[in-house]
Amino acid sequence: MTDSNPAKGAEELPEEPPRRLTALDSYQGRYLILATLLILALLAIAWFGHNYVSKVTGAQVARLEKRTNLQQQLRQGMRELQNIEEWLHRQLIEPGLRQKTSLEEQIQRLRTKLTDLQRQLPEGEQKALLETVLQTRLNRFATDAEGFLRISHDNRLRFPSTEIMQTRMRDKAATFTEIITDALDELRDQHDGSTELLLDGYRLHDTWQKILSEFRLLVANRFGVFADDPLAGMQARAGNIEIYMAHLQQELKRLEKMPAPEGTLYLEPETWQQLSRIADDWHREYLQLWKGLTSENWRRDLQIYKDSLAPQLTRIQADLGQIQASLNQESAGEIKELASVAERLTLAIFIITLADILLIFGAYLYLRTRILKPISATTQALRQEAAGITHNQIPIPKLRETRDLVSAFAEMRREVWRRQRGLDYLAHHDPLTQLPNRILFKDRLQHAIKVAQRNNQMVALLFLDLDNFKQINDTLGHLAGDELLVTVARRLKNLLRSSDTVARLGGDEFAILLENIEGKRQTRNAASKILSALSEPVKLAGHDFHLTASIGIAMAPYDDSQPDNLIRDADSAMYEAKRLGKNAYFFFSSELLERATTQLNLEREIRTALEKEEFLFHFQPIVHTRSKKIYGVEAPIRWQPEKGPLRYPDEFVETLLAIDNRQDFMEKLLCQIDELQQKCIDELQIQLPVAINLSASVLRNSTQHNLVLNSLKRRRYPELLRIEITEDTLLEDLANAHVLLKEIKRLGIPLVLDDFGTGQSSLNHLRSFPFDAIKIDKEFVMNLDKNPEDANLVKAVTQLAHSFNMKVVAEGVETETHQHYLRKIGCDYLQGYLISKPISSDRLFAMLEHIRSRLKVVN
């Protein structure tokens, strides 16, 4: 919607017409002039089209010739790459084959071809890709190819497992053969009838030779000499070796047990044992060799080719193929473009010529039959327009006869447009900031979502809420608040693109629509810029204010495609950003929706629990460190549903305070404390101090301060109450907290600083607030017997509190060791499971009756 003057655009006519020639003062004369101009225009267009086609055709043909030359050079380079691959295949098959050219020469020829091609390629992706091939891929390939050649020319490097066979196994086989041969020679020299022993020796020698023969066949199979499937042949030979080896060991063990003939040297049992050890050693080396021969790395040159050279060749081929495809695509595109240009020009000339002919003929008929209608009829139609009566559109005349009528029509149209635009602007814009309002924003959001879905794009909705705006409004007044809103609107408009929309939805809430978004990263950058721009100081009432905001972000159609749902999702994300600390942005997620559903269910359950009065206090005793008398109790709130287990404050207390902001439930709970204290006085003659916790939401909200104070004043024994405030609570609003705590102190109610040591400025809190006691957080107490640092910290805090004339209560006391140490350092009171867990009022009263002697007596 435009914000311009509604009357803008209406035609203004001169008071007196200029002097004209006779031909221009009539419709017929104007027709002849127009026809002449059109004919001249047609001739000019035809001449321009001819020149344009000639120029474009010449340029395109030159580019096609150059690209054809580039493609030819590229094909030569790819042939050189194929030659390299064939060279490597021949080298793998016959490593000792002498080829006509070396691999280095082949690579250099490829490099030369590609370098020439690179010099002729224009700047762009193709040239950059080819440069990558030359500088990176080809250099790496050359380096790896050099290592491949070195390995393929050295059999020890090419077959790493053969070292075992040529050194260790061969030596052991020779030693075994030499010993068994010497033993046989010695047997043959004997003439004492050792024929059976000689036969055993021959069988042993034959078995060893069979093992060696099978081993040679196994190695031959590995190199593909005898079998199409080398591994199958190797496994068959390996099985035979194992059979022969088992037989050999069995024979050696048998011979060890036989007595040696007298006068022999090699037929002693030590000889057979030595042969057994040599056979075992040879067998172990054989198993290691078997593992190497059956692994994928049994041949290093083949492995290097598969793992390194072949993938690199494939990658280079793919890169060159990509360049070739790009060149082919450009060639086809230029040919198509050339044909398209010629086709368009021809069609345009034909259409323009035909249109001009029809226009000339139609204009002539129009002049004769339609223009010169009665002026009175035209005047009547114009008056009807001014009166708001619908009528057909009247053409704008140019001659004296109808100029007065057109003036009346223009005046009427100006007035109607001005009214319509003014009303439309007021209905769709915020009167304070001049930004689109909720109605216009939802309309633009819906339109943007439809466009995004049609174009497969994304739309981002940023829901922005100013932090602590209510305080500025309450402190400086609504005029200052309005001035701040106008400043925020101006900053947002100046920051965003012209295609984006900024709207004010109401109060201090703004909505920002970002169209044509690529993803979350772009949206995240926009949100960061917005927060940075808003953080600049704003001068209000002579003071500089630093403004912050919380932003919730929802993406369409990723999160939702309905405008109302998208606004709801962004609103939920905004509240999450506030919950996480404000001055931040947060993207909507399904977890937020689930959390919102869970929160709604919790609120419904709490409302039901309030009606049924299911909330109550439990009580945890606090005892004096030395006398062990009960000093008082702390009253944490609990929720006991009719069905289900007991629920603790962390689950519900913030939601409970938000629902019952008048603290009606707290009044009922304090009445429970009144009754308990009265019962203790009446039946046990003791005064029972009770400590209750004051939540952060009460300290934050100054409107609830009077409710709290009035509730405390209505207590029967306010002097027996203790108000506990956690240290982190004081970080949120020091000014409001100080006012409320001073008023509570005036009622004679002691103040206790709870969870001391977990905050960021503990010492400052001791100096700034009128506390009577502090509670050391159980986080430090529970590990003081294991962690000397915690023990020293507890001791230091105790001494510090005593220097401020404050009592010290230690929470989380669970062992006798804790109690002994705390008594030793002078801690005043103890609280924890060692004394008692939080219990109901009935159980507490029963406990008090049982240990009445430990209680303080009523003064």
* pLDDT tens digits for range 755-793: 876 654 456 666 777 789 999 989 899 988 888 999 999
The closest of 744, 773, 778 to 631, measured between CA atoms, is: 773
Nearest-angstrom CA–CA distance, 847 and 168: 88
Q: Which contiguous run of DSSP H or E holds residue 82?
A: helix 27-93
HSE of 790, CA atoms in CB hemisphere, 13 A: 17
Residues 710, 674 share a domain: yes
The answer to whether the beta carbons of residues 584 and 608 sit under 8 Å apart is no
Q: Based on the domain organization, do 203 and 248 belong to the same domain?
A: yes
Q: What is the CATH number of the domain that holds 740?
A: 3.20.20.450
Q: Is residue 858 part of a domain?
A: no
Both 712 and 798 in one domain: the answer is: yes
Q: According to the model, what pLDDT value does residue 66 have?
A: 75
Tokens (6 digits) for 138: 């080809």
Q: What pLDDT score was predicted for residue 377?
A: 54
Question: Would you say residue 10 lies in a domain?
Answer: no
Q: What is the pLDDT of residue 820?
A: 95
> Whole-prediction pTM value?
0.46
Q: Is residue 214, in this structure, part of any structural domain at all?
A: yes
pLDDT of 93 reads 63
Residue 59 has a pLDDT of: 72
What is the DSSP code string of 622-686?
EEETTT--EEEEE--EEE--SSS--B-HHHHHHHHHHH-TT-HHHHHHHHHHHHHHHHIIIII--
Of 533, 554, 588, which residue constitutes the final position of a domain?
588
Nearest 5°: phi and psi at 551?
Answer: -125, 130
- Check residue 308 and give its pLDDT: 72
Is the distance from CB of 829 to CB of 625 less than 8 angstroms? yes
CATH number, domain containing residue 283: 1.20.1440
User: Are 764 and 812 within one domain?
Assistant: yes
Tokens at residue 228, please? Answer: 């199409």
Whether 330 is covered by a domain: the verdict is yes
First to last CA, the chain: 79
User: Apex CA 265: angle with CA 259 and CA 267, to 5°?
Assistant: 35
208 and 113 co-located in one domain: no
Please state, in angstroms and rounded to a whole number, the distance separating the CA atoms of residues 516 and 620.
60
Is residue 194 within 8 A of residue 207, CB to CB? The reply is: no
Would you say residue 3 lies in a domain? no
Same domain? For 187 and 70 the reply is no
State whether 447 and 336 are in the same domain. no
In a domain, 477, yes or no: yes
Residues 545 and 563 in one domain: yes
Indicate if 636 and 711 belong to the same structural domain. yes
- For the record, the structure tokens of 348 come out as 């345009």
Tokens of 512: 């920002």
- Per-residue pLDDT, 750: 94
Distance CA 57, CA 334 (A): 10
Q: What pLDDT is attached to residue 827?
A: 95
Type of residue numbered 167: T
Cα 649 from Cα 639, distance rounded (Å): 8
pLDDT of residue 383: 65
Residue 594 within any structural domain of the chain: no
Last residue of a domain, one of 270, 298, 326: 298
Q: What is the pLDDT of residues 436-492, one digit of tens each?
A: 999 999 999 999 999 999 988 899 999 999 988 877 877 788 888 899 999 999 999
Number of CB atoms found within 10 A of residue 680's CB: 21
- Which CATH number does the domain housing residue 522 bear? 3.30.70.270
- Contact indicator for 457, 451 with CB cutoff of 8 Å: yes
In DSSP terms, 587 is beta-bridged to 553
Q: What is the mean pLDDT of each run of 10 residues along the chain (859 residues)?
A: 40 43 55 75 76 72 74 77 75 62 75 76 74 74 72 64 72 83 76 67 85 78 65 78 86 77 62 84 82 68 69 77 75 72 75 79 66 58 59 57 59 71 84 92 94 91 90 80 91 90 92 90 92 88 84 91 91 89 89 81 88 91 91 93 88 79 75 92 92 81 80 90 81 69 90 76 65 90 89 92 92 94 95 94 91 53
> How many domains are there within the chain?
5
Q: Which residues does 393 contact at the CB level (< 8 Å), separation at least 6?
A: none
Same-domain pairing of 452 and 582: yes
CA distances (Å), origin 241, targets 207, 237, 697, 785 = 10, 6, 87, 70
If asked whether residues 637 and 777 sit together in one domain, one would say yes
Are the C-beta atoms of residues 636 and 838 closer than 8 Å to each other?
yes
Helix crossing, 310-369 with 125-132: angle to 10°?
180
Closest CA to 629 of 853, 813, 859, 858: 853
Q: Are 133 and 319 in contact (CB under 8 A)?
A: yes
- Residues 189, 122 share a domain: no
3-state secondary structure of 548: coil
Phi, psi of 223 (to 5 degrees): -90, 10
Assess contact for 245 and 283: CB atoms under 8 A: yes
| Distance, CA of 633 to CA of 631 (rounded, Å) | 7
Token representation of residue 729: 């609570």
Q: Give the domain-ending residue among 271, 298, 325.
A: 298
Count of CB atoms situated within 10 Å of the CB of 7: 16
**pLDDT score of 371:** 57
In a domain, 441, yes or no: yes
Give the C-alpha separation, 229 to 221, whole Å.
Answer: 8
Contact 317, 81 (CB under 8 A): yes
Domain that holds residue 45: 20-158+299-372
Four-point Cα dihedral 48, 51, 52, 54, nearest 10: 160
